[in-house]
Structure 1
Amino acid sequence: MTDTIKSRIRAIIAEQAMLEPHQIDDDATPEDLGIDSLGLVESIFALEEEFDITIPFNANEPENSDFDISNMATIMRAVERLVAQKAA
């Protein structure tokens, strides 16, 4: 993943969590960051808008979705995959 994409994702999540981007650890879950379900929805909308992608509606069910929101690392990989698919 490019550092630019990763830093943009961190900035979006950090804004929602009211943290600084450097405080966002790859292993952190949305809950660890203090992001509730409404905040998670807002984060997803912000990611969709920032990258012009569509995140599956069932992203909160990793067993049923290709988009895993379990932690920051999985979110970053999923966004990168969607961005790459869009570019293809």
Structure 2
Amino acid sequence: MSIKDQVIAIVAEQAMLEPGDVAMENSLEDIGIDSLGLVECIFAIEEAFDIDVPFNANDPQASDFDISSIAAIVAAVETLKAEQAV
């Protein structure tokens, strides 16, 4: 399973949607994920990919982890995985 597919599966599960209902251009807000759901998604992503996500739940805008869309989250996870491989 690709990083994209795994991220979509994690986000869809949190939003109680089918993965096919989650589009890359969706924001988490678009699909009904609130701040608590966001934190749950971050934890699930960290666990699934064995990475540390640079995310501050108290100040999401100050984080180095782009959560503006599903595509941005996928790209950020891909970057973290690539850095981990070095």
Q: Return the TM-score normalized by structure 1.
A: 0.88
Q: Distance in 2 between matches of 1:74 and 1:58?
A: 17
- The 5 A counterparts of 1:1-88 are 4-58=2-56, 60-61=60-61, 64-88=62-86
Residues 6-54 of structure 1, C-alpha deviation per residue, up to 9 Å, x if partnerless? 1011100000000011111111011101000000000000000000111
The number of aligned residues is 84
Q: Which structure carries more relative contact order (alpha carbon 8 Å, separation 6+)? A: 2
- Does structure 1 conserve the Cα–Cα contact (< 8 Å) formed by 2:51 and 2:81? yes
Q: Structure 2: which 5+ residue stretches go unaligned?
A: none
2:76 alignment partner AA:
A
Could you tell me which runs of 5 or more consecutive residues in structure 1 were left unpaired when the two chains were aligned. Answer: none
Cα RMSD of the aligned pairs, angstroms, is 1.4
SS at match of 1:83: helix
Whole-angstrom distance in 2 between the partners of 1:41 and 1:58: 9
Amino-acid identity (%): 58
